[in-house]
């Protein structure tokens, strides 16, 4: 057995975040091969899937006069508005067709409540916990390794929450790609470093 007590958390490797998708992350497809290889070293793999209803309030289309990538004040804080993406049951919400991790144990969907976004796999934007922290503790996981899309949003928020909950966290930079708007990537790295998250390379 390899990597005892360790989970690989694979964030949002979905069509809409890859080439031709509604919210394509630059070079997003490049994470698929490295993640497939890396996952073979883990007994426990958790996948997340961004999974929004068509009227999700993170969509700029739901706010007349607003455009994607603007920030607006929601009751739980500042929310970036996005193009419609990862709509439940649509092709854009499917995993990348070349993602191949048949032994993944859990697929955690997030952002499924119309009024609340959820970058983190551990808690929604309003603080509602998803249960992932308890799931990992029940399985005696102590180490969380993070990969996927996008580095500066869902990967970073999950890594930060994992560190906050006491897990030892690493982000594999070369198995992530960023959206990088308004300095979001630099800001994410700063927050992660401050939390003691290790930024590493697969090599
Ligand atoms: C994400 C923006 C909106 C992500 C999800 O997976 O990083 N970013 N929804
Ligand atoms: Zn989303």
Report CA(28)–ligand 1 centroid distance (Å): 12
**Which contiguous run of DSSP H or E holds residue 110?**
strand 106-110
Percent of the chain with pLDDT over 90: 97
Looking at the domain assignment, is residue 22 inside a domain? Answer: yes
Looking at the domain assignment, is residue 100 inside a domain? Answer: yes
Distance CA 27, CA 101 (A): 20
Atom of ligand 1 nearest to the CA of 150: 7
Looking at the domain assignment, is residue 79 inside a domain? Answer: no
174: domain range? 2-52+84-200
Give the ipTM.
Answer: 0.98
Atom of ligand 1 nearest to the CA of 153: 7
Tell me the pLDDT band of 99, cut-offs 50, 70 and 90.
very high
Helix (H, G, I), strand (E, B) or coil at 68: coil
- The pLDDT tens digits of the residues spanning 44-86 come to 999 999 999 999 999 999 999 999 999 999 999 999 999 999 9
Alpha carbon 81 to chain centroid distance? 16
Tell me the pLDDT band of 32, cut-offs 50, 70 and 90.
very high
Measuring from each residue's beta carbon to the nearest atom of ligand 1, which residues come in under 6 Å?
12, 50, 82, 149-150, 153-154
Report CA(119)–ligand 1 centroid distance (Å): 6
Looking at the domain assignment, is residue 58 inside a domain? Answer: no
- What six digits make up the tokens of 121? 């796999």
Alpha carbon 26 to chain centroid distance? 15
pLDDT at 181: 94
Helix axes 156-164, 184-194, angle to 10 degrees: 20
Looking at the domain assignment, is residue 167 inside a domain? Answer: yes
Query: Which positions ≥6 away from 150 have C-beta within 8 Å?
Result: 12, 17, 25, 28, 176, 177, 178, 179
Residues annotated as catalytic (active site), given as ranges:
12, 110, 154
pLDDT at 1: 47
Tell me the pLDDT band of 179, cut-offs 50, 70 and 90.
very high
Looking at the domain assignment, is residue 57 inside a domain? Answer: no
User: What's the whole-model pTM score?
Assistant: 0.97
Tell me the pLDDT band of 2, cut-offs 50, 70 and 90.
low
Q: Return the ∠ at Cα 199 (arms to 198 and 203), rounded to 5°.
A: 120
Give the residue whose CA is nearest to atom 8 of ligand 1: 153
Looking at the domain assignment, is residue 75 inside a domain? Answer: no
Say yes or no to pLDDT of 120 above 80.
yes
Residue of 130, 61, 55 lying closest to 88 (CA atoms): 55
Give the residue whose CA is nearest to atom 6 of ligand 1: 154
CATH code for the domain of 44: 3.40.50.850
pLDDT at 203: 74
Atom of ligand 1 nearest to the CA of 50: 5
Looking at the domain assignment, is residue 72 inside a domain? Answer: no
Return residues with CB closer than 5 A to ligand 2 (ion).
50, 111
Please count the structural domains in the chain. Answer: 1
Q: Which ligand is nearest to the CA of 150?
A: 1
């Amino acid at each position: 057995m390899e990597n005892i007590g360790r989970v690989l958390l694979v964030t949002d490797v979905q069509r809409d975040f890859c080439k031709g998708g509604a919210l394509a992350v630059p070079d997003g497809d490049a994470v698929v091969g490295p993640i497939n290889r890396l996952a073979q070293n883990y007994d426990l793999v958790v996948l997340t899937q961004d999974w929004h209803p068509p009227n999700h309030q993170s969509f700029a289309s739901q706010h007349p006069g607003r455009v994607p990538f603007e920030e607006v004040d929601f009751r739980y804080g500042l929310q970036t508005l996005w193009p419609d993406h990862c709509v439940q049951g649509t092709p854009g919400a499917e995993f990348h067709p070349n993602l191949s991790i048949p032994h993944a144990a859990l697929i955690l969907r997030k952002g499924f409540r119309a009024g609340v976004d959820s970058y983190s796999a551990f808690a929604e934007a309003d603080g509602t916990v998803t249960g992932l922290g308890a799931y990992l503790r029940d399985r005696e996981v102590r180490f969380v390794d993070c990969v996927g899309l996008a580095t500066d949003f869902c990967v970073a928020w999950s890594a930060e929450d994992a560190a906050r909950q006491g897990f030892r966290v690493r982000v594999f930079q070369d198995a992530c790609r960023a959206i990088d708007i308004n300095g979001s990537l630099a800001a994410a790295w700063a927050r992660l470093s401050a939390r003691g998250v290790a930024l590493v390379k697969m090599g």
